[in-house]
Chain A
Amino acid sequence: MRKIPNEWFVSDDKDFLRSLFKLIKSRGYKVIAPTKKEGRIILDYVNSFDEVEVRYIRTLNTPKHFLFPNGDCLFSWVKVNSDINLKTHVFKEKWAFFGLHPCDANSLVILDKILLGDPKDDIYAQRRRNSLIIIYDCEESDEYCFCESVNARIPIEGSGDLWIIPYKGKYYINPLSGRGKDIVKALNPTPSEPPKIPSQTNKKFYNLSNIGALKYLYEHESWLKHSNKCLLCGACTASCPTCTCFDVLDFVDPSLITGRRIRTWNSCTFRSFTIVAGGRVIRKERVDRFKHRYYHKFVFIPEKYGIFGCTGCGRCVSQCHNRIHPLEVILDVITRGV
């Protein structure tokens, strides 16, 4: 994990966020921010600062819903007689994510590792490249949050452009990138000492120092007990900010002349996920599908990229019908297995 960079500024202007919002808007960014819809806080396009809800626990959706949307078009085609013309889409909009929590900003680092690694997923890259990420530290948390346990409490390198911590009526600002610096300069806040990072009081801490043992417990019997609670509904994967597994489908327009290939989110908990020619299913048992996600997040991604594939946002727990908590499952397996 990266150390907190030392360049800090402070602003005691009550309207600091409003000015920041206006500045971003004036620079041609389309702003995506937490906002209240149908009684829930979601990330959505907003036009004015009055729509933004900066004080929230977690949004229902994640940055993934914009940068890696469900039903994204990979390319389209036009058939003229026997000729086929393929067209790929160029994305030109500039997006600003305003007020992401550190966990969701850190999820972008994991998306980047998976999707921008060789070969680069250009469709994601185009959107990501043009996105400004403003991180707003969480003022509240709940029993499902566990970012501190997976080292995601603090924005890691590459997660965002600006980090704002509200503390005792002031705003502490930390530019994390060149773009962030540029914006801070325009707002002219006072240089400051780094603030104390507020700790999240009602967050439970899970000690993952033995996580290395998980790799050797793939066949351990205690997985079965935990998997029996899982309905394999896929709510955890859909709500997860770092789950990127997808399915590819062709859609043909009624004219039969044009069509497009799209990708839809898939889930490793689904039976169809690993079905192969002839109808054979590779991960046929519930327990195999249940533990695959845990191994991906807590063994495969750390081995490959050196960070957990989970940022502790708590969505998978809050969305789960049986409130299955990934770290409680993992720690139970490790305790029984070692």
Chain B
Amino acid sequence: MNPYLPKLAKVINIIQETPDVKTIRLKLLNEEKLVFKPGNFVMISCFGIGESSFAISSSPFIQEYFEVSVRAVGNVTRAIHKLKVGDVVGVRGPLGNGYPITDLLNKNIVIISGGTGILGVSSLLWYIHEKRDDFGEVLLFYGARTPKDLVRYRDIKTWGKNIKTYVTVDRADETWKGPTGVVTKFLDEVTIPKHNVIFIMCGPPIMMKVTYRKLIGMGYKAKQIYASLERRMQCGLGKCGCCMLSNGLFVCKDGPIFRCDMLMERDIE
């Protein structure tokens, strides 16, 4: 079997999340289902433009369709933004290791995410939301540039019913009543469970770097911290070499979710 050959999927819904982020709902053709674990990603092809990797941001309990949310920044993402309902794209996946759910069971979990980084943890948040009793205390810290840039805000409100959620923006507008500032400030302001705690972070490089150093500075161990990394990927199969880290691990195959003690600090970005 040719591992580079995508399956075909139809666009069945498009949601404009923010001025530059759209959520695309896809359904595989021929009644096929995409069974995935929280944290898996897919490669999406726009034939003639190219292929890129995207985190699956819908609930792993829904198999009839799946969603990716895309910020238009490059060729493929701009092409995805031009898609209309009924258009066909190529899909390869699910790829990647996914979150180690067994390591998270009965733990207190703190999720720190910034910007579109929320998409890397949203399948996990759906999982926790659905199986809430399997986990201890769960906190979600989320930061975005402005209130208009809050991605999947309606889902955040849904999760907020049984997950303690703290949202901040860098620059508030007249509608914003919540906190402002960088997301890492919640680590100081919010009481974090003392024991049995796991941190999961996904966001822009600078946020990951700062969060990691801050947590280590607060006395937490690298093995308590999980990072969801983003790298350029051509194949998603551990062949093309583009996503190889400084310790030889592939983000696509060995990751994208890594326990930080498995990483060199320079790669946590």
Chains A and B come from one and the same complex: yes
* B1-27 contact mask (Cβ, 8 Å, vs A): 1 or 0: 111111010000000000000000000
Evaluate contact between B248 and A247: CB separation under 8 angstroms.
no
Partner of B231, one of A82, A246, A274, A296: A274
Evaluate contact between A88 and B2: CB separation under 8 angstroms.
yes
Count the B residues whose beta carbon is within 8 Å of the partner chain — how many? 39
Partner of B240, one of A248, A261, A276, A277: A248
Query: Could you tell me which residues of chain A, from 216 to 265, have a CB within 8 Å of some CB in chain B?
Result: 218, 244-250, 252, 256, 259, 261, 263
Provide the main secondary structure of the chain B interface.
Answer: loop
Kindly state whether residue A40 has any CB partner on chain B within 8 Å: no
Partner of A295, one of B8, B88, B242, B246: B246
Q: CA separation between A264 and B269, bound complex, in Å? A: 28
* A101-120 contact mask (Cβ, 8 Å, vs B): 1 or 0: 00000000000001101011
Interface centre among B77, B237, B244, by most A CB within 10 Å?
B244
Kindly state whether residue B193 has any CB partner on chain A within 8 Å: no
Kindly state whether residue A304 has any CB partner on chain B within 8 Å: yes
Q: Which of B45-53, B129-137, B170-178 lies at the interface with chain A?
A: B45-53
Q: CA separation between A47 and B246, bound complex, in Å? A: 46
* Residues of A contacting B240 in the complex (Cβ-Cβ under 8 angstroms): 245-248, 263, 266
Partner of A123, one of B4, B51, B88, B238: B4
Evaluate contact between B3 and A122: CB separation under 8 angstroms.
yes
Count the A residues whose beta carbon is within 8 Å of the partner chain — how many? 48
* Residues of B contacting A275 in the complex (Cβ-Cβ under 8 angstroms): 232
* Residues of B contacting A268 in the complex (Cβ-Cβ under 8 angstroms): 241, 244
Partner of B242, one of A74, A259, A261, A273: A273
Chosen A-B contacts, 30 in total, with CB atoms closer than 8 Å, are A74-B5, A75-B2, A75-B4, A79-B47, A82-B87, A82-B88, A84-B47, A86-B5, A88-B5, A122-B3, A218-B246, A245-B240, A246-B239, A248-B4, A248-B50, A248-B234, A248-B235, A248-B240, A256-B48, A266-B242, A268-B244, A273-B232, A276-B230, A276-B232, A277-B74, A277-B77, A282-B231, A282-B232, A292-B246, A295-B248
Chain B interface (Cβ within 8 Å of chain A)? 1-6, 8, 45, 47-51, 71, 73-74, 77, 86-88, 90, 205, 230-232, 234-235, 237-242, 244, 246-248, 264, 269
Apart from A117-B238, A250-B48: 12 A-B pairs, beta carbons within 8 A: A75-B4, A84-B90, A86-B90, A88-B2, A88-B5, A218-B264, A248-B51, A259-B47, A261-B47, A261-B51, A300-B248, A304-B248
